[in-house]
Chains A and B, each alone.
Chain A
Amino acid sequence: NAGVTQTPKFQVLKTGQSMTLQCAQDMNHNSMYWYRQDPGMGLRLIYYSASEGTTDKGEVPNGYNVSRLNKREFSLRLESAAPSQTSVYFCASSETFQGQPQHFGDGTRLSIL
């Protein structure tokens, strides 16, 4: 089992460019999450999907959009990247929605110049 797979692992963007971070899980989990991790600030929830077909804002949703494409996949899109979005992004999943991510992906290290 691969668990939670994120692509890409690294990306450098210029300010104003757009991109989509991909996430897929093979554990048949219902809930999926996107977090960002910045130095000294822990993990902050961007968006989550409690179940297939639903998405909701987390703590820091501004500048992002998400799509729950199917039960396996949950993508995060930056429409117009800004330097403040430089961060490490983690996708996570859990069997049911109780707010706690059980399994994380390896992360995407994103730099915005």
Chain B
Amino acid sequence: GENVEQHPSTLSVQEGDSAVIKCTYSDSASNYFPWYKQELGKRPQLIIDIRSNVGEKKDQRIAVTLNKTAKHFSLHITETQPEDSAVYFCAAMGNFGNEKLTFGTGTRLTIIP
């Protein structure tokens, strides 16, 4: 089955700086890669996703990049703000009968004012 590794487990960034979270996956057939944000005590929220036919996707201050050859994808947050503090989860999904998400173990991002 799919295995998703996420790094780092914790990340502290000065407000206004950029943050990068990286994930690797094992199944070369995986073709969908979402990212979720979970604030303390709250539900996970889908913030951005990318499919394997696209190398990069942006939505305002967040972007996701995908390198299919190396089997890794990353979340980039620019101009970080205190409300970006949360746990971020990456995930990967295969196809052809294996359309279930496998999640990474999460990155706790803290924005230092």
Which residues on A are within 8 Å of B, measured CB to CB?
40-45, 48, 58-59, 90, 97-102, 104-107
Kindly list chain B residues whose C-beta atoms are within 8 Å of the C-beta of A41: 105
On chain B, which size bracket covers the interface? 20 to 34
A98 x B32 contact (CB < 8 A): yes
Closest to B49 in A: A100
Chain B positions within 8 Å of A40 at CB level: 105-106
A98/B43 contact (C-beta < 8 A), A42-B103, A43-B103, A44-B103 known:
no
Seen from chain B, the residues whose Cβ lies within 8 Å of a Cβ on chain A are 1, 6, 32, 34, 42-46, 49, 89, 91, 93, 99-106
B95 CB, min distance to chain A CBs, angstroms: 9
Most chain B CB within 10 A, of A58, A59, A99, is at A99
Tell me which residues across on chain B come within 8 A of A90, comparing CB atoms. Answer: 43-44
Are A101 and B105 in contact (CB-based, < 8 A)? no
A100 and B46 in contact, given A41-B105, A42-B103 (Cβ under 8 angstroms): yes
> Given A98-B93, A98-B99, A104-B45, 14 more contacts at CB 8 Å?
A42-B6, A43-B91, A43-B103, A58-B100, A90-B43, A97-B99, A100-B49, A100-B93, A100-B101, A101-B46, A101-B101, A104-B44, A106-B42, A107-B43
